[in-house]
Structure 1
Amino acid sequence: MSIAVQVQQGYQRGTRLLSTYLEPLGLLLMRLLVARVFLQSGLSKWHGWFDFNETKYDLFLYEFFCPDPVRPGALLLCDPVTLDYQSGSLTVTLIESLALLAGIAEVVLPVLLIVGLLTRPAALGLIVMTLFIQLAVFPTWGHWWNPAAWWFVVLFGVFAVGPGALSLDRVFKLENRRA
């Protein structure tokens, strides 16, 4: 057996060992890293169990969808001249519903990532949220490169590879991959 073949086989054994032991840990750390960001944001929208922080409606109404000054390319849902909404309008109701839905999703989806349960759907939900934030709320390259790109890449990695061995998906046999 040549030295080149021995080096190749040794390298392959080493990478198998690394994959066996480090891949599950890496996937867990990826899940925890991105879950922390969204969970902190989600928890800031609540006073406690089933008690939504209604001041967050203003965040959605006036920072995200009617900022002053207007962000070019962002989704503007208020009157562009007065930068206000018609009281009781369907738009206000939809934005407040979106705020509540985001508050729920930003808590539930990261918790699912942390424990590794329904990991791929949870990652996909946060990918959609990340893309919505990027395209509709902060449509600039500066926001994409920091922080949205790393959220997207980590979530995409978890979505593509799965939760890894250190997950409830594996315990409940929802994922059968080696990692």
Structure 2
Amino acid sequence: MSRVLESGPVKVGRELPPDLDLIAKGGWVLGPCGAILLKSLWGSGWRTSIDAAEVGTYEYEVNDVYGSLADLADDRATYLNRAAVRGFSFALRMLKDAAELPGAGSLMATVGVSVDEGDEDFLLQGVTVRMFSRRGDYPNWFDDLERYQSEAMAVVDVTDIADRDPLVRFMSGK
């Protein structure tokens, strides 16, 4: 992710495109076993009976956000940088908005952007942000982010929302 961020300006903002802004405005809700869930993504289609050990995985499944990047395709030279900044902006805004919820201290997010410019669908892939807690059945496949070759990946947590320039740490390979 550091290579992607180094390719342009890294200013995080609260302004989001309509698809991500709609999810952000929906806010958070506490679900089964205290799961912290994005209100606009969780509803009657999700099971409500979960084991406490599944909370992290349940959050990971529900809080799977796709953000369109179609409006960024006009400038391919800055596309990846702007895509990553959009994902970070959404993730950090949602972590900040969740800060007062019970259990929010363990909330984290992954930000993923395709970097495979040879893929014919490269400009259609969007940014993926997933949010989950470090409790219960915590996904541990993010321990080695360097193994992701076709995606730039970063893990953001609540400690990052306190930073004045939260992306500086990621530019140096956090």
TM-score surpassing 0.5?
A: no
TM-score, normalised via structure 2 length: 0.25
More helix per residue: 1
Which structure has the greater CA radius of gyration?
1
TM-score, normalised with respect to structure 1 = 0.24
